[in-house]
Every structure is written in structure tokens, then in C-alpha cells.
A and B are shown apart, each in its own frame.
Chain A
Amino acid sequence: MSDQILQFLLTGITLGSTYALVALGFAIIYNASDVVNLAQGEFVMLGAMSAIALSAGAGGLPLPAAILGAVLATLVVGLMLQRFAIAPAKGIDVVGTIIITIGASIFLRGLALLLWGKDIKALPHFSGDNPIRLGEVTLMPQSLWVMGGTAVLVLAVHLFFNRTLVGKAILACSCNRTAAALVGIDVGRMLLVAYGLSALLGAMAGVLVAPITYTSYDAGVMLGLKGFAAAVLGGLGNPMGAVAGGLILGLVESLAAGLVSSGYKDAIAFIILLLVLFIRPSGLFGRASAERV
């Protein structure tokens, strides 16, 4: 029984790592621009699908080159999203931005459908698909890639925001955009960086997890929603809270699937999210924001 639990925990952390990366992307964009980017899941799908497309076939690129190409392509999509869809819409409210990003996500999904069709595809495992045995528990080498990759990316993002000038400038924009502009920060460019970074994280999540979960043109929808849920669970606008939220969501889902029923795993994850919100309306690690009159 304890072996089984351990197995669920490992699966949960792998799954949760993906959610953590998507949620981190949500938090970065939300911090920089107050926009909840519901096209975030589409970055994951684009990363995975374009890596598969670039590496497939006889003339395909070797895996590392394909991954690099996929991440760069997704990054460009992220920049274009900010430049051509978010930036032109000025003076728009929460619902308006939600609809724009939903429009963007439908657009990108349609584009993926045109380019790659409806088939479910898989990326080869990075280092073989022989499971590692630890007693009764098995672990795919790819899971280690997912966990390790996530840890490295989260650390890199943390250092970026705390140690680099650009990172601190983005944080300044999220605190007060006018003040940031007044001290000479190019707010427009910082927003671009935030969207690019967020797209990059999404694409990396997609590439890392694609060998395990497979992917298709519509794989981004549920991942985007789970990422949003994880970001809210952690407290919107708190990047490390988002990471924690992602891991918690993954663990809850995996335990629910293993111990209750796999059909209800998503429902259980969302019920827990609702309960957390009812008890703590600003998420687990969110600042309880004072309502301004």
C-alpha cells in the first residue's frame, strides 16, 4: 500500500511539475500586465507539437535542435500575442482580456489543426523508455527529466527576477507601471519580455511532458485551465505560490485518480480548489489584498 502511495506521489509530482510551469507562466504575465492569459495552455501544445513536427520524418532535426527550434517558435508566438492582441486593446476590463486571450487560444488551436491535423502524437523519450525500478515502484526516465527540468527552470526564473536588472524592472512594472516608466523603464519592452518568458516556460513544459502524455492540437485547453487553477490556488501574482499550487494540484489529482477514480480526478482537483477559495479567497499564498474604496 505504501509503495502504491509512493507511486502516486511520483506520478503526481511529474504531473504537478507541468502544471507548475504553466502556472508560473500565468503568474509572470498576470504580474506584468494584470492579464490572465488563457492561451497559456496553447504555448504548451505549440512547444510539443512543433518539436514533434521538427524532429519527425527522414529529414527531421536531431532532438535537441528540434526542441530548441520549438521553444524559439513558441517564444515568437508569445511575443506576437503581446504585440498584436494584448497591446492594441487599451482600456479593456478583466472580461475583455479574458475573451481576447480565449480568441487567441482558439486561433492558435485552429492553426495547429491546419498545420498538423487531428492525430495524437508523441515525442521520443529523451533517454529511453526503460522504467527505473525502485523496489515495487517504477519511474520513467522522462519523469526525471520533467522534475529536473522544472526545478532548473523555476530556479532560473527566481534568479532572473531577483538578480538581474531586467527581472527587477519587470517586477517594478508589476508594482506600479507609471512609476516604473518614470524611472526610465521601457514598460512596453518589459511586457514583451514577460510574454516571451511565459511562452518559453510553456513550450518547455510541453516538450518535457510530451513523451509521457502525448499531445494533439487540442491538448492545450485542459493544461491551460489546470495552470490557471494552480496559479489561483497558489495566489495569483505570486510566482513561487504558483509553482507550489501546480505541485499540489498534480499530487491531489494523482492521489484522487489512484485512490478514488480516474474519471473523477479533475472534478476532485477543482472541488479542492473551490474549497480553498471559499476559505481563503485570495489563494493559499496570496496576499490578502485590502479592498480599496
Chain B
Amino acid sequence: MKRLRGWLLLAGLLVALPILFPDNYYVNVVGAAAALHAILTVGLNLLMGYAGQISLGHAAFFGLGAYTSAILTTRCGWDPWLALGAGLVLTGAVAYVIARPVLRLKGHYLAMATLGFGIIVHILLVQTGSLTGGPDGIGEIPPLSLFGWTIDTDVRWYWVITGTLLAVVLLALNLMDSRTGRALRALHGAAVAASAMGIDTAQAKTAVFVLAALTAGLAGSLFAHQQAFVSPDSFNFFVSIELVTMVVLGGMASTYGAILGAVILTFLPELLVVFEDYEVVIFGAILMLMMIFMPQGIAGGLRALMRWPRARTARTARLTQDAA
């Protein structure tokens, strides 16, 4: 039940927002975008935060899901839900195939390999014009409908995306408290010790990589139907970097931190728009400053802040002891 407390709080907040602020652009549009990013970062955090494996190519899976939905619904006339399923199968399969060789790499080599994978997928999206529409992308993607309820307004999308987010968060929380989750955290702490304890590290890493890819694919399909338009630019190298930044900024190994990071980095450009030409410079400066002053992310910073009075008492006690 304790596990559910944070989740219920989040659910309450997400339900309350559109009721408290009806027809608000920052809730219905930016809020939905933040929730979509949060689906991606909660998934990516399973891989980065818990299993300790960096991925600089996560936008590729987001793009694979989005493009599968876009292509199958517009060119082949598939039902959107069937296309979404196909998108999940494809992203899962691609992730499974590349997981083993990629996850054998460590540190900067892993960063480079995932980055390279992301760039390759992006180039394929741009170059295979007859299938993907090339740089112009694909438009007129039909909306999703749920039990005869067509999801075609901003507020309806808000409900679908936040509902999906809540489901993904619940899954992540339960996973991390399960046997697999403990295995993953052991892997992060000390891979050799974990394998000595009988954890199949390669299999655990592959599983979490595929799971992170699946959440990204799901987010991609939703994104395609929400925007009714996809183009390669939504899935390039910068998007991958942005997702990693969200996870780190929020505080790694914290599901709520990943959500917080997504919310902050989605709202930040909206707020920086007033600075016009200075927007890019300020964004870069904020990124640097946040990492310099809060290397543990916001969740880590808050945790340290909460521990601080206790840590100080302990230190004072030790000092008095030493003096005595």
C-alpha cells in the first residue's frame, strides 16, 4: 500500500489539473506533451537509473513506434490499435536484436553505440522516402478511438496520455519492487557481484532494454495519432539527448524524478520563449548550471536536503564525542 501512495497522489494531481484549470493551454497541450515525455523517461529510467546503462539513441524507438503507426494507418488502412500493436512488436524485436551486442559495451563505448544506432534510424527515416515520406514526413494520420469515443480534442488526448503514463508508472514501480527489479539494481551496483549471486546479467540487461524500448514505442504510436503528423525531426539525436537530460535532471533511479525532469524540460522552452533570440543560450546555460550544482538531479537534491538536518545532528554528535 505504501508503494501506491505516491502513485495515488500523482493520479489525483493529474485528474485535478484539468478540472481546476479547464481549457488551459498549459494543462491540455503542454501538460499532455510533458506526460508523453514522462512515459518515455519513466521507461528510459528503468534502463539508465536502475540498470545503469546509458542510451543516447532512445528517440529511435520512439520514432519506430510513431512511424509504424503512421505508415500502417495511412498507407495500408490498418486499424490504429492494430498498428499500435505492430509498432510494439517492431520496436521490441529491434531492441531485442541489438540489445546483446550493444549492452556488452560499457561507458563511453555504450554511449557511442546507442548514439550511432539513433543516428542510423534517423537517416533511414529521412532516406526511405517512398515509405516514410522522407524529410516531409507523413500527415493526415487518423485519430485513435476508444469504445466509439474518438480522441480528437486536446483535453481527450490529455486523458489518454496521462492515463497511459499512470499505467506505465504503476508498471515501473511494481517492476522495481519485484525480483527482476532487485536483480537490475544489483546489476547497477556491482555487475560482477550480481552475476556471482546467480543473476543472468546479460538477460536482465536485455529484458530492461526491451522494456524501455517498448514504452518508447508505445509513446511513439500515441504521439503519431495525437499530432496526426510525424517527421524525422521529432526523433533525431537531440530528442535522445533531451530524454537523457530529463532523466538525469530529475534524478536517476527515481521514477517520480524522471517525471519531474520531463515536466521541467517540457515547460522550460515554453517559458523561455519570451527571451526570443536568447532562448538557446539560456537553455544551454541552465543545463550546465543544473548539472554543476545538482549532480544528483532534483530528486537527489531533495533527498539530500531532507537528510541534511539529521546528517548535521549526527556530525555534531560525533564532534562532541571526539571533543570529549
A: which residues have CB within 8 A of B? 30, 36, 85, 88-89, 91-96, 98-100, 102-111, 113-114, 221, 225, 228-229, 232, 236, 261, 263-264, 266-267, 270-271, 273-274, 277-278, 281-283, 291, 293
Binds A, one of B32-40, B166-174, B286-294, B303-311: B286-294
| B116 with A282: CB separation less than 8 A | no
Residues of B within 8 A of A (CB-CB), count:
45
Chain A residue with Cβ nearest B281: A110
- Measured CA separation A232–B283 after assembly (Å): 28
CB distance from B127 to the nearest CB of A (A): 5
* Residue contact B116 to A102, C-beta cutoff 8 Å: no
Q: Contacts of B286 on A, CB cut-off 8 Å?
A: 103
B101-120 interface mask toward A, CB cutoff 8 Å, 1 = contact, 0 = none? 11011111101110111011
Any A CB within 8 A of the CB of B295: yes
Are A225 and B291 interface neighbours, CB within 8 A? no
Please indicate the chain B residues that have their CB under 8 angstroms from the CB of A98 in the complex: 54, 56, 111, 244
In the assembled complex, 6 residue pairs joining A and B whose CB atoms fall closer than 8 Å, in A order, are: A103-B291, A104-B284, A110-B280, A232-B109, A270-B120, A277-B112
Report which of A36, A92, A113, A282 forms a contact with B280, defined as CB distance below 8 A: A113
Contact, CB under 8 Å: B287 / A236: no
Answer yes or no: B268 CB below 8 A from chain A CBs.
no
**Which A residues are CB-close (under 8 A) to B279?**
110
Q: Which residues of A contact B210 (CB under 8 A)?
A: none
CB neighbours of B245 from chain A (8 A): 99, 102
Shortest CB distance B165–A (Å): 23
Say whether B112 contacts A103, CB under 8 Å. no
Overall SS of chain B's interface: helix
B20 surroundings in chain A (CB, below 8 A): none
A109 to B115, CA, bound (A): 20
With both chains docked as a complex, state the minimum distance between the C-beta of A19 and any C-beta of chain B, in angstroms: 14
B108 partner, pick from A111, A113, A221, A232, beta carbons under 8 A? A232
Which B residues are CB-close (under 8 A) to A105? 284
Assess the A229–B116 pair: CB atoms within 8 A: yes
| A114 adjacent to B119 (CB under 8 Å) | no
CB distance from A76 to the nearest CB of B (A): 17
User: A82–B184 Cα gap in the complex (Å)?
Assistant: 35
Give Cα A218 to B54, complex, Å. 25
Using Cβ atoms and an 8 Å threshold, which residues of chain B touch A36?
108, 111
CA distance A196 to B245 in the complex (A): 27
Beta-carbon nearest neighbor of A108 in chain B: B284
Residues of chain B within 8 A of A263, CB atoms compared: 123, 126-127
- Cα–Cα, bound, A221→B237 (Å): 10
CB of B116 within 8 A of CB of A274, answer: yes
Residue in B closest to A228 when the chains form the complex, CB atoms? B112
B323: Cβ under 8 A from any A Cβ: no
Q: Which residues of chain B from 145 to 161 have any CB-CB distance to chain A below 8 Å in the complex?
A: none
State A111–B109 Cα separation when bound (angstroms): 30
Check if B108 sits within 8 Å of A88, measured CB to CB: no
Q: Which residue of A lies closest to B100 (CB)?
A: A278
Q: Which 7 A-B pairs have the closest CB atoms?
A: A107-B284, A110-B280, A103-B287, A106-B284, A110-B281, A103-B288, A270-B116
Which chain B residue shows the least CB distance to A274? Answer: B116
B192: chain A residues within 8 A (beta carbon)? 291, 293
Q: Determine whether B29 belongs to the interface, using a CB cutoff of 8 Å to chain A.
A: no
Q: Which of B127, B248, B295 contacts A91 (CB 8 A)?
A: B295
Answer whether A267 and B124 are a contact pair too, CB < 8 Å, given A91-B295, A103-B291, A273-B112.
Answer: yes
A102 and B48 contact, CB distance less than 8 A: no
Q: Per-position contact with A for B172-201: 1 when CB-CB < 8 Å, else 0? A: 000000000000000000001000000000
